[in-house]
Structure formats: structure tokens, C-alpha cells
Structure 1
């Protein structure tokens, strides 16, 4: 049995982003604004090879690029 987000071609991080955005949008005005501000964080990562740090990338942009590459390969 496979998860719905996985069969839809989403990464787990992207699935969480979509789900959390849906929850934030369903809140009332005051709590919604506070939750939206908390959700506007930029995560960055870098791959390490042979003890050296690679290029630092934005996680959202990397996920979008991976999703496009996966969609094109199908």
C-alpha cells in the first residue's frame, strides 16, 4: 500500500507544505495571520561530499525543480 502523496509524485516535505497551507487558510482571521507569518520560513540545505560543503540551495526551489524533473520523466 502506497501513500496518496507518494503516488501523486510529491515529496514528503512538499506534502507537508501543502497540508499546512490548507490548515492555515482554514483558520479565522487573527490566528490565520499569525500562522501565515510562522509559515514563511526559508529552509536551506547543502550537500557535503568528501568533507566539503556544496552549494547552499533553497529547499522550496529544489523541491519544485525535482517535481518538474520527475513529471517530465514520466
Structure 2
């Protein structure tokens, strides 16, 4: 995402050297990052799976770590 953002800023500045309003070039960075994410989701077959993700509260995650269900494993 960082590289997509940087590339978008550089491209915008090269094409519009008199523009220095951050709102204008940051709009381009958001578009570039969104497009990259969409491409990656589709390439790795994860597009359309957001409904399968069930949010877990911070308290519930804490309880899972306390019980040892999510103990970190370091190799």
C-alpha cells in the first residue's frame, strides 16, 4: 500500500506540477490503494468473503488469550 500511495503521489505531482493541495493528491493515493486491494483480493480468491468474518470483541479476545486458546507459538 505504501508503494501504491507513493507512486500515485509521484505520478500526480509529475502530471500536475502546479498543484500542491494535499486533498487533491491524497485522493489519488486512496484510489491507488483501493485498486491494489481489490486486485489482491481477486488474485488470491478472497473477494466476496467479508460476510464470513465474524467480529470478536476485545473482551472476548482477552478471554481467549487468558484461557490459552490463542497462545502464541514461536518456532
Common topology (TM > 0.5): no
Higher percent of residues as strand: 1
Q: Which has the larger radius of gyration?
A: 2
TM-score by length of 1: 0.29
Higher percent of residues as helix: 2
